[in-house]
Homo-oligomer: A and B are copies of this chain.
């Protein structure tokens, strides 16, 4: 007898993959149940609504990432460098094992409405404050608003890379492949850290 993994997990796995590939609005519950080989009503039975399903999928991937972020920041000691802070912030995202989760995270982070209403308040507000504190300690001469801008820019670097990882090699003849995640972490951290160390722009307060 074939070991059949539970319906709930089958739905989560299929939905994660399809949401990542086609977006949240571009994926119907029927797409998901067909891929998961479960009945249509199973989604509403286990997750009530489509939005709740999305929340469950998001939580399943973001919570371990945030845990790892704190661990890495902790492990870097009391006075981490910019590179160490950025690595702690970015690496757990980029190292996500499940390939299907990579474009999904990109979708989440490039969906402002969903993010600001449902993801940020629940999952990211405490994380970001902690990292802002660490960065301002590592870069005491950088004005706070400029620091926020640059953290914002760094999130853009990370998000764009995850969202486009599946697509970008197609328009560059194979360059910019994201399969080597460790090289990716090094590249993004190096780029963002150099940006953080640039002289503050004149306009900042």
Which A residues lie at the B interface, using CB under 8 A? Answer: 22-23, 25-26, 110, 112-113, 115-116, 120, 125, 144-146, 148-150, 152-153, 155-161, 163-164, 166-168, 170-172, 175-176, 180, 183, 186-188, 190-195, 197-199, 201-204
Contacts and interface: CB of A to CB of B under 8 A. Distances in A.
B176 A148 contact: yes
A192 B201 CA distance: 13
30 contacts: A25-B25, A112-B166, A112-B167, A125-B171, A145-B175, A146-B187, A148-B172, A149-B175, A149-B191, A152-B160, A153-B187, A153-B191, A156-B157, A156-B158, A156-B160, A156-B164, A157-B157, A160-B160, A183-B201, A183-B203, A186-B202, A187-B201, A187-B204, A190-B195, A190-B198, A191-B195, A192-B195, A194-B194, A194-B195, A194-B197
A164 B112 contact: yes
A110 B148 contact: no
Given A153-B157, A153-B192, 5 more contacts: A148-B172, A148-B176, A153-B161, A156-B164, A160-B160
A195 B150 CA distance: 12
Q: Provide the main secondary structure of the chain A interface.
A: helix
A7 B63 CA distance: 49
Contacts of A155: 160
A171 B201 contact: no
A181 to B, nearest CB: 11
Nearest to A26: B25
B112 A176 contact: no
A152 B156 contact: no
B166 A161 contact: no
Contacts of A160: 110, 152-153, 155-157, 159-160
